[in-house]
Amino acid sequence: MTKLEQIENSVSALSDEELKAFAEWSAELQWQRWDRQFEADVKAGRLEGFAEEARADTRAGRTSQL
């Protein structure tokens, strides 16, 4: 049995309350990992193209206030 199958079996056996707590924990973990990846992408300059495109759109008047 793989680790994933073991986890699936364990999660399937959780009570409703435990499953809710697990889902909240899992969502938070995913956001933390997303944040770390985003920060790494910013530091590596991977988002600079998007930023320049947004600046160009602003200079060209193709944006509006929210």
In the chain, where the domains are located: 15-59
Predicted local confidence at residue 35, as pLDDT:
98
Coil, strand, or helix at residue 46? coil
- State which H helix or E strand residue 38 sits in: helix 16-43
pLDDT less than 50: residues of the chain: none
What's the pLDDT score for residue 52? 95
What is the per-residue pLDDT for 16?
Answer: 98
Residue type, 59: R
Rounded to two decimals, the pTM is 0.69
Residue 17 pLDDT: 98
Per cent of the chain over pLDDT 90 is: 97
Give the pLDDT score at 9. 97
